[in-house]
Amino acid sequence: MEQQLITAGHTRIGWIGTGVMGLAMCARVQAAGFHVTIYARTPSKISALCNSGAASVESPMAVGERCDVVFTMLSNPSDVRQVVLGTDGVLSALTPGGILVDMTSSQPSLAKEIFEQATAKGCDSVDAPVSGGDIGAQNGTLAILAGGRQETVAKLEPLFRRMGSATYLGPAGSGQSCKIANQITVAANLGGLSEGLVFARKAGLDVRKYLAAIGGGAAGSKAIELFGERMIDRDFAPGGFADYMVKDLGMALEEGERAAVALPGSALHQKLYLSMTANGDGRLGSQGYITAIERLNNLQ
């Protein structure tokens, strides 16, 4: 399939998904000089982008009609299926040579299905979920986990580098498989950080000194850098919701069962995140994990 070079002022960019992270990512692409067309279910969210020149349209199909590269950054695989593959979805109107880039944390099987249907239309797709949270989205330091055709991932570099750093993982679905493994690791890190902070508090330690003391040793981690102070300050503003961790770890357990991979830690972390949802805290950020540990220890 023929694909033109991606350049600001020439390549038309579509964006669907303007939550906490998607909005920041889209803004960085726009700031680099790319013209952006956006579909948002809540148009008020994108008023600042529209004031800076972005176009707002009424459907995913309209994005596909007007754009060369379309990004999706949505909540759930079911949203991706509807927005991309639905009767009025992006793919129904994307012209041959167009590229779909799904940055949602989704299912490897869906990424493969989208790739197959895009290829049948003379288009292309890349699954490119991200890690780094809202801070990474704002600062353009996200880890982008890309699956699909390697040459297409390379072609997208002028866009990816506005948002972070892309790593090519393999064929369609590989990016999503990597993101699932990433979420398994993130949950374990947040679980350990939460338990460590609760224990330190119970032991009478100054928790800020505790974090500073362990940060340079084997316990040091990106989780501490991103979330340690936020946990202490009760800053649970979401980069990714706790509800999303329930979803992501659920996908990990489903994929693990399919591949006969035992994931006992992930099962426990999912249950604790699910307890947050049951307690009405599902819209807290993933660092809100500490509230589940505090609740078990009568610290709330």
Contact between residue 221 and residue 193 where contact means Cβ atoms under 8 Å apart: yes
According to DSSP, the β-strands at 55-57 and 130-131 are: unpaired
Of the pLDDT bands very low, low, confident and very high (cuts 50, 70, 90), residue 239 is: confident
Of the pLDDT bands very low, low, confident and very high (cuts 50, 70, 90), residue 3 is: low
Residue 261 belongs to a domain with what CATH number? 1.10.1040.10
Give the pLDDT confidence of 275-290 residue by residue, as tens digits: 999 999 999 999 999 9
Gap between the Cα atoms of 77 and 54, Å rounded: 26
Instruction: Note whether residue 7 is domain-resident.
Output: no
Catalytic residue among 121, 179, 209, 247: 179
Its pTM stands at 0.90
Using DSSP's 3-state secondary structure scheme, residue 4 falls into coil
Averaged pLDDT, 180-194: 96
The predicted pLDDT at position 134 comes to 86
Number of H-type helices and E-type strands within the chain = 15, 9
The predicted pLDDT at position 40 comes to 95
Of the pLDDT bands very low, low, confident and very high (cuts 50, 70, 90), residue 20 is: confident
**Is the model's pLDDT at 191 over the cut of 80?**
yes
Place of tokens 């996908």: 251
Q: Which of these three, 171, 187, 207, is where a domain ends? A: 171
**CA max distance for the chain:** 64
Give the pLDDT confidence of 137-147 residue by residue, as tens digits: 999 999 999 99
Contact between residue 253 and residue 213 where contact means Cβ atoms under 8 Å apart: no
Shared domain check, 187 and 129: no
Of the pLDDT bands very low, low, confident and very high (cuts 50, 70, 90), residue 1 is: very low
Q: Which residues pair with 147 in a beta bridge?
A: 127, 170
Gap between the Cα atoms of 146 and 159, Å rounded: 13
- Respond yes or no: is residue 179 known to be catalytic: yes
Contact between residue 102 and residue 145 where contact means Cβ atoms under 8 Å apart: no
The torsion defined by the Cα of 14, 16, 20 and 23, in degrees rounded to 10, comes to: 20
Instruction: Note whether residue 100 is domain-resident.
Output: yes
Q: Which residues pair with 10 in a beta bridge?
A: none
Give the contacts of 108 (CB within 8 A, at least 6 positions apart).
127, 173, 174, 176, 177, 180, 255
Shared domain check, 258 and 278: yes
> Domain range holding 198?
178-296
What one-letter code names the amino acid at 142?
L
Gap between the Cα atoms of 221 and 126, Å rounded: 29
Shared domain check, 196 and 76: no
Gap between the Cα atoms of 246 and 229, Å rounded: 23
Shared domain check, 246 and 167: no
Average pLDDT, the chain: 95
Shared domain check, 100 and 64: yes
Residue 160 belongs to a domain with what CATH number? 3.40.50.720
Strand residue runs (E) in the chain: 12-16, 35-39, 55-57, 69-72, 99-102, 124-127, 130-131, 142-147, 164-170
The predicted pLDDT at position 128 comes to 98
Domains identified in the chain, total number: 2
Averaged pLDDT, 6-31: 96
Shared domain check, 254 and 166: no
Of the pLDDT bands very low, low, confident and very high (cuts 50, 70, 90), residue 220 is: very high
DSSP string, 37-86: EEE-SSGGGGHHHHHTT-EEESSHHHHHHH-SEEEE--SSHHHHIIIIIS
**Is the model's pLDDT at 2 over the cut of 60?**
no
Gap between the Cα atoms of 29 and 160, Å rounded: 9
Shared domain check, 26 and 131: yes
Give the pLDDT confidence of 247-260 residue by residue, as tens digits: 999 999 999 999 99
Shared domain check, 165 and 141: yes
Q: Which of these three, 154, 171, 188, is where a domain ends? A: 171
Shared domain check, 120 and 242: no
Shared domain check, 94 and 76: yes
Shared domain check, 99 and 30: yes
Q: Which of these three, 148, 171, 194, is where a domain ends? A: 171
